[in-house]
Amino acid sequence: MGEFLVSKEGLGYLIMYGSQVFNLNLVISGIIILMIVSYLMYLFVNYIEKLLIKNK
């Protein structure tokens, strides 16, 4: 949430800027990129977790 409020660059800034200038394509593309990145991070953490549990 902090990224949306005080950001000067990055995805949060892109989404906030798009909403301020009423550019829906910019907002939706920023949200989709954010979803893809968060899903990939989830897969990475899940993979690491499985490796650690298997080694015990």
List, for residues 20-31, the tens digit of each pLDDT value: 899 999 999 999
Give the rounded percent of residues in the chain with a pLDDT score beyond 90.
Answer: 52
Whole-angstrom Cα distance, residue 48 to residue 42? 10
Its pTM stands at: 0.75
Checking if the pLDDT of 16 tops 90, the result is: no
Cβ atoms within 10 Å of 14's Cβ, excluding its own = 19
Number of domains in the chain: 1
Whole-angstrom Cα distance, residue 25 to residue 19? 10
Q: Which domain holds residue 32?
A: 2-54
Confidence category of residue 48, pLDDT binned at 50, 70, 90: very high
Tokens standing for 20? 């301020």
